[in-house]
Amino acid sequence: MFRSLITRTVLPLLLAAGVVAYFGLPYIDRLLTEWFRTDVELRARVLMSSLEESLPALVARSDQQGLRRYTAKVLADQRVLGILICLPQGGTVFKTEFVPTSVSCESAQELSDGQSVVRHAPLGSVLVSVFDQKPAGQTPYRVAILYDLSFVDSRQSTARDYMLAFVGISLVILALFLVLAAWLVVRRWAKILIGDITGRRFFDDAKSGPISLPILRQVRKALSEMEETQRAEIDYRENWTPQALQLVVRDQLHSPQIIVVSNREPYAHEFNETGAIVVQVPASGMVTALEPVMRACSGTWVAHGSGSADREVVDRSDRVRVPPDDPSYTLRRVWLSESEEQGFYYGLSNEGLWPLCHLAYVRPAFRGEDWAVYQSVNRKFAEVVAHEAQSDNPVILIQDFHFAMLPGYLRTRRPKATIVLFWHIPWPNVETFGVCPWKREMLSHMLMADILGFHTLYHCQNFLATLDRFIECQIDHERMTVALQGHICRVAAYPISIEWPPRWLQSMPDVQLSRRTVRERFGIAEHVILALGVERWDFTKGVIERCLALELLLEQNPRLRGQVTLLQIAAPSRSKLAAYKALQRATLTEVERINKLFATADWKPIVLIGKHQPPEQVFELYRAADFCIVNSLHDGMNLVAKEFVAARDDEDGVLILSTFAGAARELVEAILVNPFDVGETAAAIRRAIDMPREQRRQRMQLMRRTIKENNVYRWAGRMLTDAARIRQRQALSIGQESSVS
């Protein structure tokens, strides 16, 4: 540190001093010469006036003797070198002994009265001052007084030496002082910074004490920013948070407008029985996942306004700020007529594509008129999204199978937009998808997205195989990209998840209290083992199979009668459709039948609640249950399984999970079952009932860690990071070559 202080401070100082001396000393020399010369000139004048008394008479008499005696006295002043008395025309009247040969009456002619000049003689410089004398009645004459200036040279060099010595010593003292002062300051800063670093206090000025020096403040700021970035990076890897997601949007995507498009809206406004408007959070896995992402990123969510009071709360542009209790993004509602809803939502989406993609053995229905409406509603959404876009390159996140045509329609309207289509349901194998009459149109429009996301790699591979069979495109299986008409689309697996920690947990009472409350609410005795099922009432979710498994269990294990109850929440969904009406009827019939078989006066094997529950109560149910059954016949992911695990901060409870749900790839510590095998499901229930506490804890701990690390912020973060990379490549126009090569 010292060496650098010397090289950086002292040496430049000495250099500067050298430069100053080099240019300054001649100036000082000149100044000193001027001073001495003026002084000597003055003396010459004084001497001349003293000579004026006696000199005229001696000159008039041309008294050489007298002049010599008189001037000898004057010359006693050692600095007066000599005196010359000349005639005005130049002749010499008198000259003292030591007048140098370079000075003569002739050369003095050049000077006027009172003028002085420096002449150089062998013994040093000489100042010659000339004075004209015109005594009354006497011939005029000139007196030249010669002063020895050699003393000026010696004084100048002495003065120069003193000055150099003074400057040199001052500089050394100054340099020493500077080094000392700098060392003390640096030592103090180092002490403060080391204290900050070891005490990790950069975020808090109060803790670290106020700092008046701007430089130190800057260092602290830099440290605090570094710390923040580091924390965010750790979060990226281990613990994704809304803040980490915000950083991705800010730093990697450079804060574009984010537009989410879905059929289902995140908040529906409904009129209740008394005519008041209430807000409902729909039972939808897509909403569960996307809502926290939108809360973190802000932007606009475009969705079908399906609530009975939705029109009452929007502004003139059909927008409303949500979440209602703490608005952070805009919900733009799109209105669909009854026939649009019929053809688009109930028709092609839920009677065609939903059964097509789920292997639940419900035959898909494809009607030409539904297809026409599906396309026109996709176009309608494309118009709305294009209208909502505030720039030509927003990031548009399209959700689900309702919008297979939307990427293509949007690409023509907003060619520069980054379009992501996430498919929330499974993608079936190529033979299955092949039955769709409009597969080619759908696939080619889907490929206009920049990213096509699925829950699992298996779904991605099914999709690529489907493309391979039905579409003329270039597939790069290694990079998982598809090129169609010069556009590159990346196909990737992004396993969806839930927010961690779920917001509904924030005000939850402890597990014991939840257990009591739920049992009281649904009339289930304290000692009864509580099995839980929570679903949209959908044929893919295996609700009837679950009831049958419980029936089998009770049949095979009579001692469990009166000991275990399945509390089944089935939120009505798509109830207008025949398949769903039939499912609801069949479920009720089966539940009634089984209950009749086994129920006692104070116990029922199945409590079926066919009503939508508020989300806080759903979480209360998760906490109250002894185990949760998720035996979907086929499911893209299944977020009920993940929510159940997230709700169990007591590290208790058992999860039974279908191997045909995407979640089974991550939650391997669950009891995995084939939902089509009722016997296996019954045995799984038995295992869940018998599982020791320690094993429950260990399994739950592992599952909780998996979900915490792979939460929905990670899901969105990974997708948006890929979107950012694609945007960067597109900006460099290298996407085409690199992706298909």
Binding site for ligand GDG (CB under 6 A): 281, 283-286, 288-289, 424-425, 496, 534-536, 569, 571, 612-615, 618, 635-640, 643
Q: How far is the C-alpha of 455 from the C-alpha of 472, rounded, in Å?
A: 25
Task: Tell me whether residue 48 or residue 657 sits nearer to ligand GDG (CB atom).
Answer: 657
| Residues 547, 284, 581: CA angle, nearest 5 degrees | 50
| Residues 508, 232, 500: CA angle, nearest 5 degrees | 20
CB of 260 to ligand GDG, least distance (A): 13
Q: How far is the C-alpha of 379 from the C-alpha of 383, rounded, in Å?
A: 6
Q: How far is the C-alpha of 718 from the C-alpha of 296, rounded, in Å?
A: 15
Structure tokens at 42: 């003055």
Q: How far is the C-alpha of 470 from the C-alpha of 431, rounded, in Å?
A: 11
The residue nearest ligand GDG at its CB is 285
CB of 605 to ligand GDG, least distance (A): 21
Q: How far is the C-alpha of 407 from the C-alpha of 378, rounded, in Å?
A: 9
707 by DSSP, 3-state: which?
helix
CB of 619 to ligand GDG, least distance (A): 8
Which residues lie below 8 Å from residue 519, measured CB to CB, with a gap of 6+? 525, 526, 528, 530, 624
CB of 714 to ligand GDG, least distance (A): 14
CA 452 to the chain's CA centroid? 25
Task: Tell me whether residue 141 or residue 627 sits nearer to ligand GDG (CB atom).
Answer: 627
Q: Which residue has the tokens 């029922």?
A: 604
CB of 681 to ligand GDG, least distance (A): 17
CB of 207 to ligand GDG, least distance (A): 41
Q: How far is the C-alpha of 726 from the C-alpha of 450, rounded, in Å?
A: 8
Contact present, 321 and 329 (Cβ < 8 Å): yes
Please, how many CA atoms are within 13 Å of residue 308, restricted to the half-sphere of its CB? Answer: 8
CB of 282 to ligand GDG, least distance (A): 7
Which residues lie below 8 Å from residue 162, measured CB to CB, with a gap of 6+? none
Task: Tell me whether residue 360 or residue 640 sits nearer to ligand GDG (CB atom).
Answer: 640
Task: Tell me whether residue 162 or residue 361 sits nearer to ligand GDG (CB atom).
Answer: 361
CB of 210 to ligand GDG, least distance (A): 49
CB of 368 to ligand GDG, least distance (A): 26
Task: Tell me whether residue 149 or residue 420 sits nearer to ligand GDG (CB atom).
Answer: 420
CB of 548 to ligand GDG, least distance (A): 20
CB of 346 to ligand GDG, least distance (A): 16
Task: Tell me whether residue 148 or residue 400 sits nearer to ligand GDG (CB atom).
Answer: 400
Task: Tell me whether residue 284 or residue 631 sits nearer to ligand GDG (CB atom).
Answer: 284
DSSP state letter for 309: T
Q: How far is CA 318 from CA 298, 311, 381, 473, in A?
A: 18, 8, 13, 40
CB of 670 to ligand GDG, least distance (A): 14
CA 28 to the chain's CA centroid? 62
Task: Tell me whether residue 286 or residue 671 sits nearer to ligand GDG (CB atom).
Answer: 286
Q: How far is the C-alpha of 413 from the C-alpha of 76, rounded, in Å?
A: 112
Q: How far is CA 460 from CA 315, 426, 470, 483, 715, in A?
A: 40, 9, 15, 15, 16
Task: Tell me whether residue 126 or residue 570 sits nearer to ligand GDG (CB atom).
Answer: 570
Task: Tell me whether residue 436 or residue 639 sits nearer to ligand GDG (CB atom).
Answer: 639
CB atoms within 10 A of CB 600: 9
Burial 634-647 (b: 16+ CB within 10 A, else e): bbbbbbbbbbbbbb
Q: How far is the C-alpha of 543 from the C-alpha of 57, rounded, in Å?
A: 149
CB of 450 to ligand GDG, least distance (A): 20
CB of 493 to ligand GDG, least distance (A): 13
Task: Tell me whether residue 253 or residue 569 sits nearer to ligand GDG (CB atom).
Answer: 569
Task: Tell me whether residue 75 or residue 491 sits nearer to ligand GDG (CB atom).
Answer: 491
CB of 516 to ligand GDG, least distance (A): 21
Task: Tell me whether residue 71 or residue 462 sits nearer to ligand GDG (CB atom).
Answer: 462
User: What dihedral angle (degrees, nearest 10) is formed by the CA atoms of 729, 734, 740, 741?
Assistant: -130
Beta bridge partners of 635: 661
The full length of the chain comes to 741
How many Å from the N-terminal Cα to the C-terminal Cα in the chain?
Answer: 54
Q: How far is the C-alpha of 400 from the C-alpha of 421, rounded, in Å?
A: 7
Task: Tell me whether residue 663 or residue 724 sits nearer to ligand GDG (CB atom).
Answer: 663
Structure tokens at 467: 């493309």
For residue 597, give the nearest of 549, 566, 554, 564 by alpha carbon.
554
Task: Tell me whether residue 13 or residue 508 sits nearer to ligand GDG (CB atom).
Answer: 508
Task: Tell me whether residue 99 or residue 286 sits nearer to ligand GDG (CB atom).
Answer: 286
Task: Tell me whether residue 423 or residue 598 sits nearer to ligand GDG (CB atom).
Answer: 423
Full strand arrangement of the beta sheet holding 606-609? 606-609, 564-571, 529-536, 627-630, 654-658, 671-673
Contact present, 517 and 620 (Cβ < 8 Å): yes
CB of 719 to ligand GDG, least distance (A): 13
CB of 569 to ligand GDG, least distance (A): 5
Task: Tell me whether residue 70 or residue 660 sits nearer to ligand GDG (CB atom).
Answer: 660
Q: How far is the C-alpha of 215 from the C-alpha of 212, rounded, in Å?
A: 9
Q: How far is the C-alpha of 667 from the C-alpha of 646, rounded, in Å?
A: 12
CB of 720 to ligand GDG, least distance (A): 17
Q: How far is CA 2 from CA 6, 374, 719, in A?
A: 6, 77, 52
